[in-house]
């Protein structure tokens, strides 16, 4: 990939953790942003979009016609995963914890939206599949939600774990994996995507967004100085889509 000219609007990744007004990054992984896409939307595609893409493809191996359960489907990763899964012609079941978030999931194309904060949510998912279960679960909650998700897998299903928001890991009964032919896969974009793969994947995502085939959901926008408020809002589960800190 050629280097973008000086002055080009680009999106790239921080070289390390933290927040900053300025950052140096290799030109090879700085992708030009189309005029039709804002900085916030492009940022959502870089981190959450690439994560969703990797979860569904290399980790989840989602195939057309399969059913995928996307937890936290109104969040940054989940909202993009719902759309990418529908683009792959999958049946999509999304979970969230409020009526507003469930409405958002439906608007993004999910076939079924379930409130996973209510008792009986797992049975509602199973009913939506006609009792068969799901082929792939994108799991970032852990604890009892993760355990129930493993139980919801159809024979040969894949549980893709990329976080544990509850603070509790998913405890996996290995015999269930053997008898039902299940797989549990861990995924981290930073650990499993080479820079060249990131650039190619991001180019595809940005192209889809520029053409209107993919809609990054940007929820809360705050100035960089209010980073603590952004973390609080996320901790209280008050946000949808991507949370963006802007340099004013």
Q: Give yes or no for a contact between 140 and 170, defined as CB atoms under 8 angstroms apart.
A: no
Which pLDDT score, from 0 to 100, does residue 16 have? 65
Mean pLDDT across the chain = 88
For 5-24, the pLDDT digits (tens) are 888 888 876 566 778 888 88
Which pLDDT score, from 0 to 100, does residue 203 have? 79
* Residue 137: pLDDT band with limits 50, 70, 90: very high
Q: Give yes or no for a contact between 19 and 52, defined as CB atoms under 8 angstroms apart.
A: no
For 150-179, the pLDDT digits (tens) are 999 999 999 999 988 888 888 888 888 999
Four-CA torsion 202, 205, 210, 211, nearest 10 degrees: 150
What CATH number matches the domain at 10-47+193-246, 3.40.50.970, 1.10.760.10, 3.90.180.10, 3.40.50.1220? 3.90.180.10
Q: Is residue 108 exposed (0-12), middle (13-18) or buried (19+ Cβ within 10 Å)?
A: buried
* Residue 130: pLDDT band with limits 50, 70, 90: very high
Domain boundaries, the chain: 10-47+193-246, 61-190
* pTM reported for the whole predicted model: 0.88
Average pLDDT over residues 92-100: 94
Enter the CATH code of domain 61-190: 3.40.50.720
Q: Which of 181, 145, 178, 180 is nearest to 163 (CA)?
A: 145
| Distance, CA of 70 to CA of 88 (rounded, Å) | 14
For 58-67, the pLDDT digits (tens) are 899 999 999 9
Q: Which of 104, 86, 107 is nearest to 96 (CA)?
A: 104
Q: Which residue has the tokens 């509602």?
A: 124
């Amino acid at each position: 990939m050629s280097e973008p000219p000086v002055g080009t609007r680009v999106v790239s990744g921080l070289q390390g953790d933290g927040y900053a007004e300025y950052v140096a990054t290799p030109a090879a992984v700085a992708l030009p942003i189309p005029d039709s896409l804002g900085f916030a939307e492009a940022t959502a595609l870089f981190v959450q979009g690439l994560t969703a893409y990797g979860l569904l493809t290399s980790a989840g191996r989602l195939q057309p016609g399969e059913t995928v359960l996307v937890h936290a489907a109104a969040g940054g990763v989940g909202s993009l995963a719902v759309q990418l899964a529908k683009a792959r012609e999958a049946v999509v079941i999304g979970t969230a914890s409020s009526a507003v978030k469930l409405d958002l999931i439906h608007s993004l194309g999910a076939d079924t939206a379930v409130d996973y904060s209510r008792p009986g949510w797992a049975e509602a998912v199973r009913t939506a599949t006609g009792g068969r279960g799901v082929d792939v679960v994108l799991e970032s909650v852990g604890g009892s939600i993760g355990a129930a998700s493993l139980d919801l897998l159809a024979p040969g299903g894949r549980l893709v774990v990329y976080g544990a928001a509850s603070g509790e890991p998913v405890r996996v009964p290995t015999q269930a994996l053997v008898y039902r032919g299940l797989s549990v896969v861990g995924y981290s974009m930073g650990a499993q995507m080479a820079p060249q793969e990131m650039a190619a994947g991001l180019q595809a995502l940005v192209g889809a967004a520029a053409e209107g085939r993919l809609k990054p959901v940007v929820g809360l926008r705050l100035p960089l100085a209010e980073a603590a408020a952004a973390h609080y809002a996320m901790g209280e589960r008050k946000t949808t889509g991507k949370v963006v800190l802007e340099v004013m």
